[in-house]
Amino acid sequence: MASAPDSVLVVGAGIIGIACAHYLSRAGFSVSVIDQGRVGGGCSHGNCGHICASHVLPMTDPAALREGLMSLVRRDAPFKVRPQWRVAMLWWLLQFARRCTRRRMLEAARHQQAILESSRREYGALVDAGEIDGEWRGDGLLYVLQSPKGMAAFAAMDAMLSDEFGVAARRLEGEQLRGFDPALRTGLAGAFHYAGDASVRPDVLVSEWAAALRDRGVRFEENRRLTAVRTRSGAVVSMETDRGPVDADHYVIATGAWSARLASTFGAALPLEPGKGYSLTMSSPAECPKHPMLFPEHRVGVTPFRDGFRLGSMLELCGFDASIPRRRIAQLVASASHYLVEPEGAEVRETWSGWRPITWDSLPVIGRMPSFRNVVLATGHHMLGMTMAPATGRLVAEIIGERTPHIDPAPFSPGRF
């Protein structure tokens, strides 16, 4: 008689947890997923849904250090560091600052490119096979620049991406933009179109993917909070929840920005900081963008959906602050007004904020937790969780199944901290 398949409990039902469940189920494991809230209710819900394999450069750009310092005196800075006298936060900032050099940025970028390109291929295969849809659009991502200075700076970065990583964009001059997308204002400096990128509607993708996994036999339990962990001889034997214990052969921690708190339950220190972002979802204006876009000079993204569109982004290092200041939502619209003919729809459908999990080296954490042979971490994807999800899920399944990984997992190992 054939033995029962090994069981895996995935903690966290965001896009990363769902991707892990998909690839683990496909590999023959018996999979359950629990979440302290609802499926896809965290940062997977309200982001802009950009699938950007072109976003090779990590957050540890030398310019990020300067922007972070300037944000201390700029109330409306799109990248904002709020002073906090937490030792862990101060140590995190010091380690982040140490990595904001060109050499270390390029080193991290090579590792980031591997997982980005893998994910883009996986998404393509999933869409082609009809396993996911999520309002998939595979017509690229447009980076729009307002000023000649911004255009020149982005052109230099684009040249570096082409020379160092083989990632090339089509350059559009200002007078070409209205022909490319009539929703853009006249007088803009230009844009760069990365045709290999894509976009989805995050909440739709997560909902559809979870439903497909349920049909395949993956079990989901919402509103189940983890309270304690039982361990023995270097392994987890059970996880206690507010509705009783859950046992499995293997455990995956995919709880996003909350992963550091959960890791502390195991006696492990995980250097994650929550990076807060915002979005505003509206009905479509008469002149709605036809393409997903990013406005680098204002750090705002735009994504058109089938029945509306979304403005989003910004990054605040402010701890787990759940407030949604009215001025930050207004800032999204004001920033977009520099680029779009109509930056607002008539109906506001949702204002949202969420926390991205950010490591001090800007790389995700994927691998076995030190000291626990049956626990795998899958977190730390900062603002690229939607993009990196499929490759992360596949890598987690390979690690647990002890199969040869399709990309080198060493740069993402929890043991690097």
Q: Long-range contacts for 329-332 (Cβ within 8 Å, ≥24 apart)?
A: 329/278, 329/280, 331/76, 331/78, 332/278, 332/279, 332/280, 332/300
Residue 257 has pLDDT above 60, yes or no: yes
Mean of pLDDT values over 358-372: 94
Q: What is the pLDDT of residue 305?
A: 96
Which pLDDT band holds residue 75 (cuts at 50, 70, 90)?
low
Residue 11 has pLDDT above 80, yes or no: yes
pLDDT at 318 over 80: yes
pLDDT of residue 70: 64
Q: Out of 67-76, 115-124, 214-223, 341-350, which region has the weakest mean confidence (pLDDT)?
A: 67-76
> Residue 78: what pLDDT?
63
Q: How far apart are CA 412 and CA 390, in angstroms?
A: 15
Judged against a pLDDT cut of 60, whether residue 247 lies above it is answered with: yes
Structural contact between residues 309 and 284, judged by C-beta atoms closer than 8 angstroms:
yes
Tell me which amino acid residue 31 is: V
pLDDT at position 88, please? Answer: 84
Cα–chain center distance at 7: 27
Q: Give the span between the Cα atoms of 149 and 171, in whole angstroms.
A: 15
Residue 150 reports pLDDT greater than 90: yes
Q: What is the mean pLDDT of the chain?
A: 92
pLDDT at 119 over 50: yes
Lowest mean pLDDT among 3-7, 167-171, 286-290: 3-7
C-alpha 223/C-alpha 149 separation (Å) is 49
User: Smallest Cα–Cα separation from 381: which of 157, 52, 24?
Assistant: 52
Note the pTM of the prediction, 2 decimals: 0.94
Judge whether residue 140 has pLDDT over 90. Answer: yes
Query: What CA–CA distance (Å, rounded) separates 47 from 145?
Result: 21
Q: Using DSSP, state whether 198 is helix, strand or coil.
A: strand
Residue 23 falls in which region: left (phi positive, over 0), alpha (psi -120 to 50) or beta:
alpha
Token pair for 132: 């996911």
- pLDDT attached to residue 366: 97
Name which of 50, 46, 28, 373 is nearest 218 in CA terms: 28
* Dist CA 59 CA 57 (whole Å): 7
pLDDT recorded at residue 145? 98
Average pLDDT rounded to a whole number, residues 327-331? 92
Task: Give the pLDDT confidence score for residue 34 in this predicted structure.
Answer: 96
Mean pLDDT, rounded, for 296-309 = 94
pLDDT band at 164 (very low <50, low <70, confident <90, very high): very high
pLDDT in the model for residue 264: 83
Which residue(s) pair with 301 in the sheet?
Answer: 294, 312
Sign, Cα dihedral of 386, 388, 394, 395:
negative
Strands 308-317, 79-81: pairing is: parallel
Give pLDDT, residue 319.
Answer: 84
The CA-atom distances, in angstroms, between 140 and each of 79, 159, 200, 272, 380 are 25, 18, 11, 30, 25
Position 201 pLDDT exceeds 60: yes
Check: CB of residue 369 under 8 Å from CB of residue 253: yes
Helix (H) or strand (E) holding 230: strand 226-232
Kindly indicate the confidence band of residue 313, based on its pLDDT and cuts at 50, 70 and 90: confident
CA dist 96 and 160 (Å) reads 22
Q: How confident is the model at residue 1 (pLDDT cuts 50, 70, 90)?
A: very low
* Percent of the chain topping pLDDT 90: 76
